[in-house]
Structure 1
């Protein structure tokens, strides 16, 4: 397994004072009604080859909410600019009167060596509609670490010979840095399913393990990341204490914690309590007895920063009922038809709140219905609907890049899902469809189908990639 080169990290302190960085300046004085940016850290890598670059930036920022923009939350937007073009952005929320560590991941694919040096990184306070209120931090230029590495236009594949190695490869290629890591068993889906939205919120990869010990690929990835916190989800039957000992040996300085309940429903409930909800106050509900419908719902829950709990076909287990009773939510979303979850069970778990069901004739039509809820942002991950590991480990990656997760048959993408993938990537100069899994899980015929969606794009060197400017961020 290859080792990702060190990234370019830069730390700063901001809160109405000059940053301790020679190339960074505050974007004007911070007004009293803006959120407070206490400190931040940027890690950036630009993977390059002869005609391509793939940029990835992880921003950790400690922010205090001060203004009620929406339902008691203050909104903060993270941006990356290149040559006068906004390449990617994320808006996150902090409850007024609280201080939170926010994790934003920004990425884009484009040409290498054009225009202004480096990129521009911005953190702004924004209002409920996403309109600019105040600049909290601006750094232009910020220089990522340039390395030879994987960079593919349009369609890429990330997959190893096993589910465990695929999870490690996803982490290695899509997580520049991570202070936290979540580990779940590779043998069963429920713990990983409910942990994925929580992992996404922490900016943490989801790695897989054997029940009796930590596999080499996962050890290698932990060693590369050197996280401060490692969370092992599931009870001692799903993941033995030996796994925790192996984690401690791999990263001795990290705090290692088991998060679990008496069963899969209890573990899901324990994880749900740790998800910090935003202003949307939603609850997502999936079957604890089968995985397909729940896979794509997990990605939607992650995007909405909402907890995901498990129920049985016609029963709300006591552990789920207790967990839901401790949560606040206004809307409930579930996946699967009445043969998966009855109306009565959704009535019971929602506690009188309105609920919405996404369902279709089979798992792929259900996946299509869930995928319809994602806005087009030029990125999508595609994984097999026949098994769970690749799809689940893709969820934190999808959440941090703004991508949806599409399920495919091993040999062909169902027509409705293919239509949704096309919608998500159409109109972007440099779209990116990521196939998760090796050719046994997702055949090369699927890759051919997906390449057909972007076959009409011009040669990369002829595509629009922003203007040639003296600075990355437009100047007034």
Structure 2
């Protein structure tokens, strides 16, 4: 088996083009992409001169030439060696920083018979862009990017080159005169205009002046940042068939790598992906369907693009799906070994997550590699109803959840015999997870899930029925109330699901024997939100983890048979009004501002809410008490509506209070009572409203609900005044 291994370093080097510095990297790219080349393009590799070469890729591709770098007017040894290896006969320069006299002197000193074919570098970046564009024949489109942010031009460089489209640089006020004149010359043949960047970089006024019709022959391509814009470029030009994918670091100090690889990328019909040292999940999701057997090539050293960006060259995710076959009721996770087969692996670890919670983890065993040594396609099944026993292929991890815990991602970690480790993630679950619960319905069925206000319960009741067994056949039952919330991220876009367990009731044969002695198949579990019950022999009641505002979204019922099998069902259809679980309430409809002498109507409404759950609620009688806590009662006339339709005065007593309703009281109901009030003096009047029980002899009244109110009374404006 050792003879089949390829050393780690050689494998990595096949997927990376780099040298000790940018000049060596450019030379490596050139000699990798061309055996020989009659022509080459020289660009200054200095950061301050990089802009001169932004637009060079289309011309380089048109003459099938690599891009090599100078150190300003000096030519590094790596560039000289590349010129010799490629047997270059003529060069084009694309920067004013490269001096013809200095080049000719260096060529002579190194015995290079190379002709300086043409100097395309102009007095500024705009003239250079125009000079390069003028050397393209049969142009049918243009790319326009900002002249002051390099990433967009290099992001699109290989695609522009492959399509023979020149790249023009826009100033803040539009295309400079020299580029505008060139565009005027070719405008009749331009069939497509692409603008890279949003309106901050290239204004709408500039966009409108460019040839083409918006949305048809003219398109603006941009994202939230340079990396998103790069991906939007790839999404736009879907007609390109990738041969390879070149990955370069997208930050300014490393963009020169994207420059030097742009000609090779165009030559191999490949895109350049800008990365932040490694590929983002969005980039991986976009690239994976297009890769086939094609490889990713990193440009630059590992400090610029990490080896992790090359993971798809070694292992790739495949189907991640619901599985119901071969005794499996759960999920299956597939993977592909790209640069070897099972015999080259030391281990495979497959983990299912829900959010950041591990649901289950499978680890490979020797039989997997010994039985299928040449296999490149592997898969790992997960059974949610119970574990498989280790079968020599996989050691199966315990399922940490229920059938209702749907995995959001599968993480695959592969370790090779030579020590290399690669990890891939699959977030695209196929199939319907609800299908996995069909077996559970043969054993347990969710019944009523509703608001409950009876038998001393103010909360919820969860009903369920046993289909093929009796309680005596069970080992345990667990019933949970869960609140599900949708939470947006900081950008207000991507949504996450947050689940909170509000309460859990449990029953086990040891603690709750009464429940398992029942002879019926219909069972239920109550939840009191005002406080848990004491253990009654049927259930062990969990505390309610929330307030009346926390309304459960679903009830989850899990039963376990004595043979260890578990089955879970849920009910998401809550019936009843959860608002009724709130405390009893009384509400005043009196306005907060009135004028002297004004008679106004208002209503006082009462709502017993959770009081109806009290055992004594049906027999308790109440009255409503009104108390004036600020202001003189002599300045207020209060009336209430009798049953006969007439209003009667409601005078306040010595304690500034009054009751309405019969002395024997009335049932506490959802009701509204009508009043009239008139104030004869200006001022601030405050009052309390209370629902008070009618006490029997020797007992004290109880306040069931109360509220406070305030009304400011002002004098009416004098006649004729505003």
Fold-level match, TM-score > 0.5?
Answer: yes
* SS in structure 1 at match of 2:15: strand
User: What SS does structure 2 have at the residue aligned with 1:326?
Assistant: helix
1:210-225 equivalence runs, <5 A:
210-225=71-86
1:340 aligns to 2:165 (yes or no): no
Name the counterpart of 1:301.
Answer: 160
1:233 is aligned to 94
* Displacement of 1:249: 4.7
Q: Distance in 2 between matches of 1:180 and 1:248?
A: 17
SS in 1 for 2:195: strand
Which residue in 2 is equivalent to 1:268? 129
Q: State the distance in 1 between where 2:5 and 2:39 align.
A: 30
2-structure distance, mates of 1:265, 1:358: 21
Which residue matches 1:355? 218
- CA distance in structure 2 between the aligned counterparts of 1:311 and 1:154, rounded to whole angstroms: 38
- Any conservation in 1 of the 2:26–2:257 contact (CA below 8 Å)? yes
Change (3 A) 1:205 1:319: same
**Partners of 2:143 and 2:195 within 8 A in 1:** yes
Matched position secondary structure for 2:232: helix
Distance 1:383 1:270 in 2: 27
Higher RCO (C-alpha 8 Å, min separation 6): 1
SS of the equivalent of 1:294 reads helix
Within 5 A, what are the aligned runs for 1:129-278?
152=11, 156-187=15-46, 188-235=49-96, 237=97, 241-247=101-107, 249-250=109-110, 252-256=112-116, 257-277=118-138
* Matched residue, 2:337: 457
Cα separation, partners in 2 of 1:154 and 1:207, compared to 1, 3 Å: closer
- In structure 2, do the counterparts of structure 1 residues 448 and 151 end up closer, same or farther at CA, with 3 Å as the change threshold? closer
1:438 matches 2:301? yes
Instruction: Give the C-alpha shift of residue 360 in structure 1.
Output: 0.5
Q: Which residue number in structure 1 is paired with residue 247 of structure 2? A: 382
Which residues of structure 2 form unaligned runs of 5+? 318-334, 342-373, 377-722
Kept in 1, the 8 Å contact 2:314–2:337? The answer is no
Shift of 1:52: 12
Measure how far apart 1:446 and its partner are. Answer: 2.9
**1:230, CA displacement in angstroms?**
0.6
- Cα 1:159/1:390, change in 2 over 3 Å: same
Report if the CA contact (8 A) 1:270-1:323 is conserved: no
Does 2:227 correspond to 1:364? yes
Q: Is structure 2 residue 259 aligned with structure 1 residue 392? A: yes
Change (3 A) 1:231 1:459: closer
From the superposition, tell whether residues 180 and 238 of structure 1 become closer, same or farther in structure 2 (CA, over 3 Å): closer
Change beyond 3 A, Cα 1:458–1:201: same
How far the C-alpha of 1:221 sits from its partner, in A, is: 0.4
* Distance in 2, Cα, partners of 1:341 & 1:240: 35
Separation in 1, partners of 2:107, 2:204? 42
Offset at residue 284 of structure 1 (A): 1.1
Q: Give the structure 2 partner of residue 15 of structure 1.
A: none
Q: Assess, with a 3 A threshold, how the Cα gap between structure 1 residues 457 and 191 changes in structure 2: closer, same or farther.
A: same
CA distance in 1, matches of 2:15, 2:103: 32
Is 1:214–1:247's contact at 8 Å kept on the other side of the alignment? Answer: no
CA–CA distance in 1 between the matches of 2:130 and 2:249? Answer: 27
* 8 A Cα contact 2:156 2:272, kept in partner: no
The Cα shift of 1:432 comes to: 1.5
Once the two structures are superposed, residues 271-303 of structure 1 have per-residue CA deviations (whole angstroms, 9 ceiling, x without a partner) of 10101236xx11111111111111121111011
Larger radius of gyration: 2
Mark the CA change 1:326 to 1:453 in structure 2 (over 3 Å): closer, same or farther: farther
C-alpha separation between the residues in 2 aligned to 1:175 and 1:156? 17
Counterpart residue number, 1:311: 170
Give every structure 1 segment of 4 or more consecutive aligned residues whose post-TM-superposition deviation is greater than 6 Å: 50-53
Q: Distance in 2 between matches of 1:453 and 1:249?
A: 50
Q: For the residues of structure 1 that align with 2:241 and 2:12, how far apart are their CA atoms?
A: 18
Quote the residue 1:420 is aligned against.
Answer: 286
Consecutive unaligned residues of structure 1, counting only runs of 5 or more, are: 1-49, 54-149, 465-476
Alignment TM-score, normalising by the size of structure 2: 0.40
What is the CA–CA distance in structure 2 between the aligned matches of 1:441 and 1:434, rounded to whole Å?
13
CA distance in 2, matches of 1:459, 1:440: 24
More strand by share: 2
Asked whether the equivalents of residues 193 and 212 of structure 2 are also in contact (C-alpha less than 8 Å), the reply is no
Matched residue of 1:456: which SS? Answer: strand
Instruction: Single out whichever of 454-463 and 305-314 deviates more from structure 2.
Output: 454-463
Distance 1:260 1:424, change over 3 A: same
Q: RMSD of the alignment, in Å? A: 2.9
Separation in 2, partners of 1:321, 1:463: 59
